[in-house]
Structure formats: C-alpha cells, structure tokens
Structure 1
Amino acid sequence: MREPDGPAGAPIRTGDTRRRIIGAVLRIIGRDGVAAVTNRRIAKEAGVSPGSVTYHFATQHDLLRESLLRFVGEETRRFTELAEDSRLDRIGLPEAAALVGQVAGGTEFDSEHIAPFELYVQAGRDERLRAAAAECFAAYDRLAARILTALGVADAERLAGTVVALVTGQQLRRLATGSTAEDLVDALLLLARGAAPAAPAPVPAARERGV
C-alpha cells in the first residue's frame, strides 16, 4: 500500500510524516486538549493529507499512545545526554539539584510540553493508555536512578520514583501557577539531604594526638 502524498501532491518520507503527525498531535493537545484531536485538524496542523494520518495510525488510541511515548523518549534522551555531559559523579548534590532546576526553568511550557500532562490524565480515563504511561514513568525512573547512583545516593532505584514524582508535581505546579523553578530546587535539596550518605563524624583533636 502506497503512502498518500502531502497536500500539494508532493511525496513525503514515511519517517518525516510520522514525526510531523505526532508533533501536530502534541501541539493540538497542548492547546485545546485531547478532545480536539481529529484527523482533519491533525492533517492541517501537520501539513499532510488526511489519508496520511489514517495510513500511519489506524486509531486515535494509536496516535495518543505513540505521541506520549515519542515525547518522553526524546526528553529522556535529552536528559541522559545532559547527565553524561555534566559528569555528575564529579559534582555534589547541591550542584546536581541546581542543574535540574536550571533545566526545568529553561523549559518553556509550550503546547508540546503541556500535552503530556493532558495525556497522563487521559490515561486515568482510558486504561488502554496506561501501559504507555507506565512505560514513560519507568523511563524517567531509570534515568533518575542512574543520576542518583552517580551521585552516590544509597537505594537509588528505590528513591528514583519519589524523585520523578517530585519533579513531575513541581512542574505541574509551575504550569498551573506560573511559578519559577526555585521551589523545585529547594524540594530536591530537601530530599537529597535526607538520602545522602551521612558524613563521618569529625575526630576530636585529643584522640588524633592519642590522648
């Protein structure tokens, strides 16, 4: 079966078409919610023919699922590259928390970044999306565990979900209130200080002299 051409009749590569469709879905959801997603609107937003939408995605569920997974996959890759470039094993917890706050503060809540929150809520209504949502949070958990391990935090895998929940909640709060990322940094530091290994107690001077 041949893929339909674009609106002007020009052929579009399959990978490009799927990316354009998914980007369009995320923008539409971010602006107007899941209910606004229709094939006609997707086609107009993506600059493809309506037939291309149904060619690549048989159902709306397929569209929503892959859009959520694609967004989180790209975010996870971005944060993984940041973690590797920052050499977290050579910086302390305060610096790592500040780095996360810097990234969060630099993330504008455009329509594509609002869309995942809408999709997570939709997963609460549509159990067919829950597996995709669980896969997304698992990806974030793995990344958080990797960073915590590099920082020397004990029980990194057990704490990863808590860190992800904290970041997600603080980002939702920023979205709803328009607040800055400073609260996120403070919350991460509070959690990190409680999870960090305790520093050894200083040895009294008299004991050092063998008294």
Structure 2
Amino acid sequence: MASTDVRDRVLAAALHIVGTEGIPGVTNRRIAATAGVSLGSITYHFPTQTDLLRAALSGFVVEETQRLSDLADGYRDKGLSLEDAAALTEKVAKDLTFSAERIAPFELYIQAGRDHELREAAAECFTAYDELAVTILNTLGVPDAAAIAPTIVATITGLQLRRLATGSGGDHDISASVLLLLSASIRA
C-alpha cells in the first residue's frame, strides 16, 4: 500500500469519525480500525492529533473548494444574474446531504476555537471560501466583492449550520439571504 494511500485513508477515517462521534471519538485505534491501517502508520504520518485534524480539515476544504470552483466555472460564461446566482447557491446548499464528512468541518471549526494550532487551518479554510466567493462575485460584477465575500460566506455557513442543527432551513432561504446581501452591497 502506497504511503499516500495510507495517509488519505487515515484522513478520510478521521473525518468520518469526527462527523459521526465528534472530536472525542477520534483515537488512533478507532482511526486504524476504520482506515484498515496499522497504528504506527498514523503516527508516522501525523505525529499529533492536532496535525491529523489540521490535515483533515485542510484536505476537506481543498476538495470542497475545487468542487465549488468547478461548479462556478460551469456557469461563468452563462451570464448569470444576481438572482440566478443566488438561486444556484440555494440549490447547491439544499442538494448537499449532511454525511459524516460534511458534518466534520463544523466540529473542527468549533474545536479551532479551543485549539490555537487548529485555528490556522480553520482560517485557511475560510480564506479559501472567501477567495472563491470573491471570484464569483467579481464575475457577477458585484462592486467591492472582497468586502462582501466574508459576509456571504458567513451567511451561507450559518444557514447551513442552522439546517444541520434543526433538520430544515426553516424560513431562512439561502438564496433570499444572499440576494438581500448582494442587493444591499450594490446600492451602497
């Protein structure tokens, strides 16, 4: 088994465990059993649990950012209006199922508030989301995209967390919220 394959399996197992059992459920034994690797291979690749959690969070964001970038590229030349972009955001958010691997980042963001070593990885995650939002907002012609992007990202993240916690979006439509923010930024 290649070293990168073992590393990837360990990271996938860690995300799955974080998403199903939370941070306290992450033990080397549980990871080894889930990933089908030896205990020693975990510490070979990740000397500390923080190293492992940081890599798992960063890996998730790299994959998620690529997925969203690919989606945005598919619509880049289609001349989307702000309304179309907001509706697309809603569709993407609602189409996501909350698998263990999609719940895990929320757990890791909260853990970053307690663990300064994990905080840097969380900051990198939000920076990647902000940069993607800036790219999309610039494509839509939204003025001062860099100033509004963090608010858009925070709104979508917060509404997704609300959906995760309550099982529904309630009256908080993501597209309406995004459109409201974008409209306000254009009028400003």
TM-score by length of 1: 0.85
Residue 40 (structure 1) aligned with residue 19 (structure 2)? no
Greater relative CO (CA pairs within 8 A, separation 6+): 2
1:14–1:157 distance in 2 versus 1, CA, 3 Å? same
Q: Is the 1:88–1:151 contact (alpha carbons within 8 Å) kept by the matching residues of 2?
A: no
Query: Displacement of 1:14 after TM fit?
Result: 1.3
Residue 85 (structure 1) aligned with residue 53 (structure 2)? no
Alignment of 1:154-169 (within 5 A): 154-169=143-158
Structure 2 CA distance for aligned equivalents of residues 154 and 101 of structure 1: 22
Give the aligned residue type for 1:113: R
Q: Which runs of 4+ in 1 moved over 3 A?
A: none
**Farther off after superposition, 31-40 or 181-190:** 181-190
**Residue-by-residue CA offset, 1:85-144 (whole Å, 9 max, x unaligned):** 112661101111111111111110011000000001001011111111111100000000
Structure 2 CA distance for aligned equivalents of residues 41 and 103 of structure 1: 32
Query: Displacement of 1:189 after TM fit?
Result: 1.4
Q: Report the equivalent of 1:178.
A: 167
Give the aligned residue type for 1:190: L
Q: Report the equivalent of 2:92.
A: 103
Structure 1 stretches lacking a partner, 5+ long: 1-11, 199-211
Q: Which has the larger radius of gyration?
A: 1
Structure 2 stretches lacking a partner, 5+ long: none
Residue 190 (structure 1) aligned with residue 180 (structure 2)? yes
Query: Displacement of 1:47 after TM fit?
Result: 1.1
Structure 1 CA distance for aligned equivalents of residues 6 and 85 of structure 2: 38
Q: Is the 2:159–2:169 contact (alpha carbons within 8 Å) kept by the matching residues of 1?
A: no
TM-score by length of 2: 0.95
Q: Percent identity?
A: 55
Q: Is the 1:69–1:132 contact (alpha carbons within 8 Å) kept by the matching residues of 2?
A: yes
Structure 2 CA distance for aligned equivalents of residues 88 and 30 of structure 1: 36
Structure 2 CA distance for aligned equivalents of residues 49 and 148 of structure 1: 46
Q: Report the equivalent of 1:122.
A: 111
- Match for residue 132 of structure 1 among 121, 128, 132: 121
Q: Report the equivalent of 2:49.
A: 60
Q: Is the 2:162–2:169 contact (alpha carbons within 8 Å) kept by the matching residues of 1?
A: no
- Match for residue 27 of structure 1 among 16, 37, 43: 16
